[in-house]
Chain A
Amino acid sequence: MTPFNFFEVLSMKRSLMLVLMLAVAASTAFAVSAQAVAPGVDSTSTGASTVPTQASDATLTATAPAAIAPAAASAAPTPNKGDSAWMMLCTIIVIFMTLPGLGLFYGGLVRSKNMLSVLIQCFVVFALVVVLWTLYGYSLAFTTGNAFFGGTDRLLMKGLDAAANAATFSRGVVIPELVFFAFQAAFAAITCALIVGAFAERIKFSAVLIFTVIWFTFAYTPMAHMVWFFPGPDAYLDAASAAAANASAGFLFARGALDFAGGTVVHINAASAGLVGAYLVGQRLGYGREAIKPHNLTLTMAGASMLWVGWFGFNAGSALEANAVAGLAFVNTLIAPAAAVLAWLVGEWIGKGKPSMLGAASGAVAGLVAITPAAGFVGLGGALLIGCAGGFACFWGVNGLKRLLRADDALDVFGVHGIGGMVGALLTAVFAAPSLGGTGIWDYLANDVSPVYSIWSQLQIQATGIGLTLVWSGTVALIAFKLADSMVGLRVTQEQEREGLDISSHGEAAYDH
């Protein structure tokens, strides 16, 4: 018998609570072991720090950061009201992306008998991740630890109060840490919610929850830490402190990987887990033989539009300040998806004969995914080209590639988020080049744009990030699904699947007909 057999005799609720507790305990152990390398984070930035990589404020504005730096060193910086307000607004609209945006986008794509199952998965995964994020996720992702996991500085909400500030990408500029915490919580939640599209319409609800706890803990938080954690620009004062700062930064951040708002952390991460899930949970009954049609593309269009609106908070908010970098990311979030909509429709019109609303909505999401890692690093021309490439590539992702993979990735999580994420991550290396209108790489020590930019070496770094994300996330997902399978089983019975998850799993119906 398997060691997990005893779960069968426990009630579902108890087993889920046990998983949650195990996850907390395990992550604490990780965090403790990660404590060894705790560099000097001064009290002004209170340990927890920033996100996306090098944002290049000075290339776009005429501020004189050198003048700010000494002041920052002497007096503790206080958050700017504009930055704080902007980041709270961004947080709200990123939350709006999941609830209801993603829910409706996904919900419209399933059959009416499974509508509520998709909505509840998005809703409860959101709630679950926010709670886990508060208890330990934030600490594991955004405090100093080792190159892969953060530490315990913020475990169980320790020190998370209104007095704490988090660093941004500019010297001497901070935002309230609670705002940063909430902004990042919304990212963690939507990433986990994205995955449910891959195994929609046949998975057990309890399996989704168990999977989410494990995958969030061992895939999301380390990826966020690897890509986004660094001690903040104020830690880069001289060669020695810069070396120490880089040594405490996340694995991929320290290697210079560019991921402005989450091409790897959010999209490739979720897509890899989704693909593994689609294989392990298996194809839906009747897949490839029966018509499994979207039940309401009107809702899908509305959901995609909400995603687009929320994505302004997602991308522009990832600048962490209301500044020119945010403005650049904002405009790129406007134009790249627009180009992607057109690209997808051209592909569809030529390849399939008719342009479709679902194609337009899918194209917008593809473009949004593709521009995510590049948003604050590339110029407008680069954004248009990334959007085009994302649109065409994801159109192939849900057609040719999907047939090659033979997995029933029900709502094309890998085809859109995986392919779009990879195209975006690679093209970020190309169009971030100053010679192609990009911002280049920010040198935190010099507090200026690095004079050197090599597209080829940046491509290699980006490819490393993609590969690491695919493997790490896929491996964790494999283990998480196997554990969930041994505890509660992954799939509902055939009768339940035929009846629809709304009635069989949740005892309610979306529509009265």
Chain B
Amino acid sequence: MKLITAIVRTFKLDDVREALAEAGVNGLTVTEVKGYGRQKGHTELYRGAEYVVDFLPKIKLEAVVADATVDAAVEAILVSARTDKVGDGKIFVSEIVSAIRIRTGEIDDDAV
């Protein structure tokens, strides 16, 4: 099992969700986050005051998938979240030790 964590553009969330569903990912957790990377922030002006906003809003999505599904899921995010401009985000894959479905007590691959 792997945890796929992806930071994507906010308006790409629906595309990514659809692509992941087609790739066989059955569940997803989404968080609204702020962060910075290579993409520049923007400037806000309020009368005489000027502020550079470095932290941009992004969507962080997390999905735990079976090892067999990882490549398809990553590919789905790569294709659906891409705009070819700086700021498209990143994908991280990490190990998951175990997973349990609370309702049934099923574990690992059966739980995700």
Contacts and interface: CB of A to CB of B under 8 A. Distances in A.
A292 interface: yes
Interface stretch (B11-19, B43-51, B95-103): B43-51
A399 B47 contact: yes
B48 A294 contact: no
B51 A399 contact: no
Contact of A292 (B45, B49, B53): B49
Interface string B25-59: 00000000000000000001111110101000000
Contact of A356 (B45, B48, B53): B45
Contact of B48 (A109, A291, A398): A398
Interface in A368-393: none
Contacts of B47: 358-359, 362, 398-399, 402, 412, 415
A112 to B, nearest CB: 15
A352 interface: yes
A354 B45 contact: yes
A293 interface: yes
Contacts of B49: 292
A403 interface: yes
Contacts of B53: 291
B17 to A, nearest CB: 26
A293 B44 contact: yes
Nearest to A290: B51
Interface string B78-109: 00000000000000000000000000000000
A292 B46 CA distance: 10
A488 B112 CA distance: 62
B46 A399 contact: no
Contacts of A109: 46
Contacts of A293: 44, 46, 51
Nearest to A409: B48
A94 to B, nearest CB: 26
Nearest to B45: A352
A402 B51 contact: no
Interface string A294-322: 10000000000000000000000000000
Contacts of A415: 47-48
B23 to A, nearest CB: 35
Nearest to B50: A352
Nearest to A398: B47
A403 B48 contact: yes
Nearest to A402: B48
A412 B47 CA distance: 9
Contacts of B46: 109, 293-294, 356, 358
B21 to A, nearest CB: 31
B51 A291 contact: yes
A356 B43 CA distance: 13
A320 B70 CA distance: 78
A191 B53 CA distance: 35
A107 to B, nearest CB: 15
Contacts of A358: 46-47
Nearest to B54: A291
Nearest to A399: B48
A385 to B, nearest CB: 23
A109 B51 CA distance: 15
Contacts of A412: 47-48
Nearest to A362: B47
A293 B43 CA distance: 12
Nearest to A359: B47
A399 B44 CA distance: 15
A415 B47 CA distance: 10
Interface string A96-118: 00000000000001000000000
Counting chain A CB atoms within 10 Å of each CB, the highest count among B45, B48, B49 belongs to B48
A412 B46 CA distance: 11
Contacts of A399: 47-48
B54 to A, nearest CB: 10
B44 to A, nearest CB: 7
Contacts of A354: 45
A403 B49 CA distance: 10
A291 B46 CA distance: 10
A415 B49 CA distance: 13
Interface string A351-369: 0101010110010000000
Interface string A383-426: 00000000000000011001100000000100100000000000
Contacts of A292: 49
A148 B45 CA distance: 43
14 contacts: A109-B46, A291-B44, A291-B51, A291-B53, A292-B49, A293-B44, A356-B45, A358-B46, A399-B47, A399-B48, A402-B47, A402-B48, A412-B48, A415-B48
Given A109-B46, A399-B48, A412-B47, 7 more contacts: A292-B49, A293-B51, A362-B47, A398-B48, A402-B48, A415-B47, A415-B48
- 10 smallest beta-carbon distances between A and B, as pairs: A291-B51, A398-B47, A399-B48, A402-B48, A398-B48, A352-B45, A294-B46, A358-B46, A412-B47, A293-B51
